[in-house]
Structure 1
Amino acid sequence: MLTLTQALYDRIVEHARRDHPDEACGVVAGPAGTDRPERFVPMLNAARSPTFYEFDSKDLLKLYRDLDDRDEEPVIVYHSHTATEAYPSRTDVTYANEPGAHYVLVSTADADGLGEFQFRSYRIVEGVITEEEVQVVTDY
């Protein structure tokens, strides 16, 4: 189960809505080994696409150096789907290289009247997708 604060939930959703119609992407980091998301790190979608996201390679390198310096790890890796449900695509599964992370997908299809808003979380390990419950709390 993914547990995150209302404030982090709101920031992820706000980022997804702000970048619509392009896909938004980012990370929520937390202390290594805790599985507790704490630090919101929005990233730029280098692809600037409504159907695909890609972290800029320089930004990603900077992020991982920063995570190492802070003894953190990516607890949540998130992105949005702008016209489809919040379910990992084949490309999403291919790029899921953090087996300990929660992969959050936010569908902003409701912004164009194409569907309903969704916020869902998955574990993706060795190509296997497992949806998990999301618990939103006031604080930890």
Structure 2
Amino acid sequence: MLIIDRATHDAIIEHARRDHPDEACGVVAGPIGSDRPARHVPMLNAAMSPTFYEFDSGDLLRLYREMDDNDEEPVVIYHSHTATEAYPSRTDINLAQEPNAHYVLVSTRDGAHESGPVDFRSYRIVDGEVTEEEVTVVERYEDEQISRPRPGTPAAPPEQKKAVS
């Protein structure tokens, strides 16, 4: 399940609307191991295309260095689809290289780029297998959400759980 704060959720949608008719793309970094989207980083779609996105390699390298310096990892990797549903394409699946990331897709088709609800969906993509997951939008993170372990990792004993700020 992806738990995301309202401000970040809304910023991703705004970015998708702003870049329409081209696909928007970006990353939401968070503390390593927290599974908490914390720092929204909208990126430039170097392809400048309505059907494909590509991170600028220089921008991406700088972002990964920043995340490394800040003990962060990509928690959410997102992009928009401008004319199709919010479901990963074959290309999206082949490009998915972060097994711990939530891959968010926002569809701005059928006028959603102007107003109204958008299709905002999240997936886990591991070894080419796509699994849709529930998205929960919260006003702010609660301590138990912050210390929630990543799927497949053992939970820390209660005395070791700490909120990450």
TM over 0.5: yes
What is the DSSP-based 3-state SS (H/G/I as helix, E as strand, rest coil) of the residue aligned with 1:123? Answer: strand
Residue type matched to 2:76 in 1? I
Aligned length: 138
The separation in 2 between residues aligned to 1:18 and 1:112, in whole angstroms, is: 11
Is the 2:112–2:118 contact (alpha carbons within 8 Å) kept by the matching residues of 1? no
TM, length-normalised to structure 1: 0.96
Structure 1 residue aligned with 2:60: 60
TM, length-normalised to structure 2: 0.82
Deviations 1:43-91 (A, max 9, x none): 0000000000000000010010000000000000000000000000000
The separation in 1 between residues aligned to 2:111 and 2:118, in whole angstroms, is: 8
Q: Which runs of 5+ in 1 are unaligned?
A: none
Q: CA deviation at 1:112?
A: 7.0
The structure carrying a bigger strand percent of its residues is: 1
The separation in 2 between residues aligned to 1:111 and 1:65, in whole angstroms, is: 37
Are 1:15 and 2:12 matched, yes or no? no
**Over the residues paired in the alignment, what is the CA RMSD in angstroms?**
1.2
The separation in 2 between residues aligned to 1:56 and 1:10, in whole angstroms, is: 23
Deviations 1:88-125 (A, max 9, x none): 00000010000000000000003279xx7200000000
Note the 1:17-32 alignment, pairs <5 A. 17-32=17-32
The separation in 2 between residues aligned to 1:71 and 1:118, in whole angstroms, is: 31
Note the 1:25-40 alignment, pairs <5 A. 25-40=25-40
Note the 1:1-140 alignment, pairs <5 A. 1-111=1-111, 117-140=118-141
Q: Which runs of 5+ in 2 are unaligned?
A: 142-165
**Aligned sequence identity (%):** 72
